[in-house]
Each structure stands twice: as C-alpha cells, then as structure tokens.
Structure 1
Amino acid sequence: MAEVREFTLPDLGEGLTEAEIVRWLVEVGDVVAVDQPVVEVETAKAMVEVPCPYGGVVTARFGSEGDEVPVGSPLVTVAVGDAPSAEAAPDADEGSGNVLVGYGTSAAGAGRRRRVRRPSAAAAAAPAPVAPARTVAVISPLVRRLAREHGVDLASLRGSGPEGLILRADVERAVAPTPVAAPVEATNRIPLRGVRGAVADKLSRSRREIPDATTWVDADATEFMTVRRAMNAAGGPKVSVLGLLARVCTAALARFPDLNSTVDGREIVILPGIHLGFAAQTDRGLVVPVVRDAHKLSAASLTAEMTRLTEAARTGTLTPADLTGGTFTLNNYGVFGVDGSTPIINHPEAAMLGVGRIVPKPWVHEGELAVREVVQLSFTFDHRVCDGGTAGGFLRYVADCVERPGVLLRDL
C-alpha cells in the first residue's frame, strides 16, 4: 500500500517568508519523479521552479495560481510507491532531501524529469510527441509579473542582460508601441530686426545689467472706477483708466524721486523730469512710446497724449523721439486678460509699474464680505537704486490712491 507524503513550500533562502503560485506544473493523478518540479512560484527576489523530493502519484494540490503561500504550507501530497512502473519513478520510496532547482538526487542517473501522466491505451499506441525546449533567462519577479500583466511571451524575447538575461526594459520595449516618426517640416527662421530686434537688444541688455526685483499688492479699485466714471460723466475730455493711473504714477514719483533715475557706472542719476513710457502692443510687436514731461500733465491730457501715441504706434508713424528718452514705464498687461506679471525693466530706467486686469472678486470691505473690483499692482525695480522699503512705499502709495482716490487730491 502506498504511503502518502506531504510536500510543503520549503525555505527558499534570503529570509523569504512567502511566495506566489505562478503556475502549476503537475495535476492531480500525474506521476512525478524524485526532484521533478511541481510548481513555479515567484518570490520577492526571483521566479523559481520548486522540485518535489518524493516520487509517486500526485494525490492533491493546495492553492491556486495567484495565491500567496507562506513557507511551510502544503503544496502537494504524493502517494509514494504507487507509481505504475519503476521506470516512471525510480527510488520512489526515498526522498532526495533537495528542493531547489538545479539540485538532483545522489542516485546515479536519476536526473530531473518532467511530469508523467498515466497513459491510456490509445495514447500508449500513439507515438510520443517531442516537447520543445523552452528556456527563459529571467531573474526578477517584477519582470515576470510585468510580462504576465501585458501578455508578453518571455520565450519570444531576446534578453539584453548578461548571458541573455531578460530585463525589465526588454519587456517594456515589447509592450510599448513603436513610435511613428513625425513628418519632417522645414524650420522657420525669423530674423530679429527692425522694431523686434531693437526690443530684443534692449531687453537682453536689461537682464544682463540690472539686478531687478518685483513686489506686488492687490488693491480694491471700486472707488477708483467710480471716480473715473464720475469724471467722464461731468463732460469734457474723457479720462481713460491708463490715463488716470499715469497721473497716479507721476504723483508717486514726486514723492519717491529716486525711482525716476538711471544708473551710470557707480552713480545713481536722479532725473529732473518724468518722461513716462507705456507699453503698447502692435502688429509689429511691443513698443514703448514716451509721454514727454508727464509730470506737467493732467489725467485728461495724459489720456489724450497716450491715445495719440498708441494710434501712431499702430499705424507705424512713431518717430525715434517718440520711442526714446523714457525715465519710467507704466505696463498695462491687464489688457491681455492676466492678473500679474514680473516684467523686464526698460533699460536704462530704474523701475516699472505693472497693472493687471480689473475684475469683480470677493473682498472684505468695511468688515463684511462683498464683491469689489480688484486689481493686482506689481512694481519691478533696480535693486541698485533702492531697497525694498522705498519700493514698498511707492507701491503702497499707488495702491492707496487706487483704493481711496481722495489721497491723490493732496498732491494735485
């Protein structure tokens, strides 16, 4: 009578405590030889085939493919001595004591054998098929798993690692679709010349020579917009938002004259008059026309002059004098629908005020939440000319004039 022996998952070394069943190599009823692999498992270190140290008939399997099995748990039971012939399972009543792939029994000629099924009468009469050899060099369990998840046949791959070892990159190359080469298009080269070239030269020089810094603040412009509407409703020349902000700038520069300056070598040159540049976008690019002696003009006069220069910029009729000699720049990037910016100073000036879009936003007004018209103001300055205190004072004064236009009346 056959003795049924239980084979458990052995200690696979390196402190491993469990393994995943990847593929069963035998079924219940199969005849196995001593040291024949019965299951393929995957550990955190490698994929291994586990050989059974007993020869005989498999009477039970424990676990399904994909199950995690702890070391010491049963894998199969084998009826030892119940093999149909001695040739099928030599020394079946003795175990080899070896459980790792690559180790055989000490009996001569025992070797490793694949599973042997009980042949039927029809199968015995038919010629035995020749099983193709299938050796796949993979060491990493991650590579095996990646291949399974993406349906990649490892036997079809040629490994790029040492001695043909299949690496993760080999599987990923098999998974990834072959990229389609984009059609080659002619490179379009646009020369920097004319207005665009002059602007490029000036901005590049500014970045090279001026150690700039930027500070900004959000301001409630509700009263500012209300005052402007009231001014225009009173009749007379219209006042634009930019024109009114230009008047605020000239008042602020009168309070902080160090910012209406330029640097000449090791000297800061404070300029006597304010020649206010403002950014204007045209089909030919960005230009900065200059309003001469802006400190002498009212908000309405500033609006009229800025309107004239903007139209000349768009028609291409600005003179060289219209584009040179500025001492301070007002940059209204809000017209592009943006809130903030850190612009490049218009060399050789020392500072620039930026104005974002004016939009309704939630705001705490007089202790209560309300919807107010809010604008972000930014101030970029040459840090050689002033420190943060002066820059902050200038920007705060501008913000105060925007939030409470009455502040501006003190300087008119």
Structure 2
Amino acid sequence: MAQQFRLPDIGEGLVEAEIVAWHVTVGDVVAVDQVIVEVETDKSLVDIPSPYAGTVLALGGNPGDVVEVGDVLIVIGAAGETVDATDSPAPVESVDLQQEAVSRADEVSGGSSARAMPAVRKAARERGIDLTTIHGTGPGGSITLGDLDQSTASSSSAATVAGDERVPMSRTRRAIAEHMQRSWSEIPHVTTLHEARADQLLAARTALASDSGVAVPIEALVIRAVLPVLDAHPRFNASIDGDDLVLHARRDIGVAVDTAEGLIVPVVRSADTHSAVELARLIAELAERAKNRRVAPDDLSGATFTITNIGAIGGGHGTPIIPLGTLAILSIGKAEPKPVVEKGEIVVGTVMPLSISYDHRAIDGAMGQRFMAAVIANLEDPSRFL
C-alpha cells in the first residue's frame, strides 16, 4: 500500500516551506532516511529524508512551489503501483495531490485570513503584495492570479510616477519582521545603557587566541562572563508561561549572526559546560552555517538568553529587541579608547558600550541594575570567569 509523506513541522512554529530541489523523481527507489528533497524555511535550507522505503509514485510539487505543513510532499509505494492524481482522495492508494492543493485554498494559510492557492501565495510574496488587502473574486472569495495582476496594475502607476521601487521581502526578512513586531507589541521593553572597561578583557582574548591557536570572538568571553550572573539572577534566564515564570536550568545562549538574508540567532547549547575556547569554536561553526543558510532548525530555537554584538560592525549602544520566549538580551558595542578616571587621574582606557533590554513584566529596574553591575565586574576582571 502506498504511503503519503506530508510536510512535517521541521522547525518551531513552521507553517510552510518552499521546495528548492528534488533529489528523487517518480520511479526512483528510495531507502529510509535517504534525502529526498531540499526545502527552504523562514531561516534555513533543510534536507528532508524519507521515512519510508519503496518506489516514488508521485511528487507533491515542483521546485518553487510553496507547501504547507500537512500537505502531501511525496507518495511512496511498491514498484508498479499506480497513483491517479485525478481521483478523489479516499484510500491512500489513490492520493489526489491536486484535490489536496485545492482543499488547502479554503484554509487559513500562514496566519492570514486570505484564501488563496499556494501558487497565488507564492506570486504575492514575489510581488510584495499583502493578500489580506486583496478582494478575492474566485470561488468562495478566494484570491486568483488575476486579482493579483489587477492589484499590481492599480498600484504600479503611482509607484512609477513617484519613482519608487517595490522590492518584495525575502522569506527570512518576513519572518524577522513578524517576530520583531510581535515582540515589540507583546513585551514591555526596558533598555538601559552601560559601559565597561575592556582593557583586561581584550588582553585575555589575545592571550587565549595565542595559546590555543583559535580565533576567540568577544561573544565567547561575554558568555563566560554572563553565565555566573545568570546563576545569581535567574530571571534573566527565564520565560513567561501564563501567570508563571519558568526559571530555566539550562544555559542555552543565542548568539546573533549578521547574514545576507538578515539577522539569524543560532543557539549555543549548554554554554555553561564549555570553556571560552570551546565556545569560540561552537560560535564560529554556528555562524558559518547561519551565513550559508545551513543551520539546523533545532539550532534556531530554545534560547534562554541572547547576546548580540553590534560592535563587530562598529556599533555602540543600541536598543535590542527581546527574542520571543525569553526575558532579556545583551548588546555589545565596539570597544574604543576613551578618557577615563583612574586613581584620580584622567587616562586613556578602552571602553566597551553595553545595552541590556529586559521584560519589565518580570524584571524591575533595580534587578536590571544589579545584573549589569555583576556583568561589568566580571568583564573588567576576566580572572573571575576564565
């Protein structure tokens, strides 16, 4: 009997994915765990293996098609078994991929109330059109390609006159926009700005790199400095669940990575079990995969605290937005020479800007100040954590 393999939820909150490339075709024999297709999610490219062994009887879409979680991705069965895509989808043996797609047009897709076929949704994304603003003229009020063409025609003249250019947001940028908007609207942010002397910290980084032969990013040292402070101030390593605070025992630290597609935040698991040099290696590996869009979906979820280094591109203080599901994020600025007072004398010291944003529902200003005072004390004396 043929088996339907439907697109699984391969990432936290995944709604849909775009087929990038098939590694099999109809008639091929596949084994369990053999990679059959590459799909693009909001933030990464993912190879999907087959859960079944057998002969490929039908494919659920072509490269460029968008499929939703639960849509038929592939049908696998016995050699010689036939699948008629025009029959109604009663038994598994007669899977109707066309009817499957039509039925999805009547469902809510991607969190939108607009009704549209996958091909229409894909075209709308490519043109930067918000489907919720379109009046559908298809069956049941569904949106057709003609409706998109009409919308484009009515708006393009104004854009041409004004000299504007309409650039569709990428899948990753749309996901970032949605998450940032939700965070900003749901979380009462408080951001405070601080500075730390970084002379000893930078010297320690140079020494570690020299001794280990590993390039040590500043994030690795900041993680080591923050970890004991999270132990003393557990609300910064927590999340809100209804009326409860969940104080996490794990120390899974998100590290923001600047990529061509936008900001990606892979997670360093069990950061408290790694040395600074080990953290340096892990951060470098995750950053490389993130930039190549090869980071695993599991590596993009579950952070308990986040660090972002805007100093890497010359930034100073900032107002970082708290990732959903966490209560705080620490931003590191570029360490630069500044006049400082030392033993009553004005001298030149290296100063690092720091910015902390936290959720005011769970963390008060005094708690935030105590947390940052402890972080700064560690950063200014690396012997505390190295």
Q: TM-score range by the shorter chain?
A: 0.5 to 0.7
**What is the alpha-carbon distance in structure 1 between the residues aligned to residue 160 and residue 245 of structure 2?**
55
The residue type paired with residue 327 of structure 2 is A
Tell me what 2:383 maps to: 406
1:201 aligns with 2:181: no
Do the aligned partners of residues 259 and 373 (structure 1) sit closer, same or farther apart at CA in structure 2, a change above 3 Å counting?
Answer: same
Match of 1:250 in 2: 227
The answer for the alignment partner of 2:265 in structure 1 is 288
Find the aligned partners of 2:227 and 2:166 in 1 and give their Cα distance: 42
Deviation string 1:118-176 (CA, Å, 9 cap, x unpaired) is: xxxxxxxxxxxxxxxxxxxxxxxxxxxxxxxxxxxxxxxxxxxxxxxxxxxxxxxxxxx
- 1:303 aligns with 280
* Larger fraction in helix: 2
Give, in angstroms, the shift of residue 185 of structure 1. 4.7
Q: CA shift at 1:230, angstroms?
A: 2.1
Distance 1:289 1:238, change over 3 A: same
Structure 2 CA distance for aligned equivalents of residues 289 and 407 of structure 1: 27
Asked if residue 329 in structure 1 is aligned to residue 306 in structure 2, the reply is yes
Give the match's secondary structure for 2:166.
coil
Instruction: Return the alpha-carbon distance in structure 2 between the equivalents of residues 282 and 183 of structure 1.
Output: 31
The Cα shift of 1:238 comes to 4.1
1:213 to 178, 186, 190: 190
Amino acid at match of 1:358: A
How far is the alpha carbon of 1:234 from its aligned partner? 2.7
> 1:304, 1:235 → 2: CA distance?
11
- SS of 2:338's equivalent in the other structure is strand
Which residue number corresponds to residue 82 of structure 1? Answer: none
| Alignment map for 1:357-396 (pairs within 5 Å) | 357-396=334-373
1:234 aligned counterpart, secondary structure: helix
> Is the 8 Å Cα contact of residues 216 and 395 (structure 1) preserved in structure 2?
no
- 2:192·2:356 contact (CA, 8 Å) conserved in 1? yes
Q: TM-score, length-normalised on structure 2?
A: 0.56
For 2:202 and 2:253, the matched residues in 1 are separated by 22
Q: Quick one: higher RCO (CA 8 Å, sep 6+), 1 or 2?
A: 2
Per-residue deviation, 1:408: 2.8
- Structure 2 counterpart SS, 1:305: helix
**How many residues are aligned here?**
228
Matched, 1:356 2:330: no
Partner of 1:313: 290
Q: What whole-Å deviation, never above 9, does each CA across 1:53-88 have from its counterpart, x for those lacking one?
A: xxxxxxxxxxxxxxxxxxxxxxxxxxxxxxxxxxxx
Kept in 1, the 8 Å contact 2:190–2:358? The answer is yes
Match of 1:272 in 2: 249
Residues 192 and 200, structure 1, Cα contact 8 Å, conserved in 2: no
Question: Structure 1: how far apart are the matches of 2:160 and 2:178?
Answer: 35
**Aligned-partner Cα distance in 1 for 2:313–2:230:** 26
| Secondary structure, counterpart of 2:161 in structure 1 | coil
Displacement, 1:407?
3.0
**In 1, Cα distance between equivalents of 2:168 and 2:302:** 26
The answer to whether the Cα contact below 8 Å between 2:327 and 2:358 also exists between their aligned partners in 1 is yes
Give distance in 2, aligned partners of 1:268 and 1:192.
35
Which residue number in structure 2 is paired with residue 110 of structure 1? none
Task: Provide the residue aligned with 1:343 in structure 2.
Answer: 320
Shift of 1:365: 1.8
Post-superposition Cα deviations, 1:335-354, rounded to whole Å, max 9, x if no partner, equal 12121001111112100011
- Counterpart contact for 1:340–1:356, Cα < 8 Å: yes
2:249 alignment partner, SS class: coil
- Give the conservation status (yes or no) of the 8 Å contact 2:339–2:348: yes
Amino acid at match of 1:280: V
* Contact 1:206 1:348 survives alignment (8 Å): no
Q: Is the 8 A contact 1:244 1:299 kept in 2?
A: yes
1:297-356 Cα deviation digits (max 9, x unpaired): 111111111100110111111111111111111010111212100111111210001111
Query: CA RMSD, aligned part only?
Result: 1.8
Confirm or deny: 8 A CA contact 2:311 2:332 kept in the other structure: yes
- Could you say what secondary structure the match of 2:340 adopts? strand
Structure 1 consecutive aligned stretches of length 4 or more whose deviation exceeds 6 Å: none
Structure 2 contact 239–325 (Cα < 8 Å) conserved? yes
- Structure 2 SS opposite 1:204: helix
Letter of the 1:366 partner, please give it.
K
TM-score, normalized by length of structure 1?
Answer: 0.53
**Secondary structure of residue in 2 paired with 1:184:** helix
Separation (CA, whole Å) in 1 of partners of 2:279 and 2:212: 17
**Highest CA radius of gyration, 1 or 2?**
1
Q: Distance in 2 between matches of 1:263 and 1:374?
A: 34
The separation in 2 between residues aligned to 1:408 and 1:298, in whole angstroms, is 10
Equivalent-residue separation in structure 2 for 1:237 and 1:203 (angstroms): 34
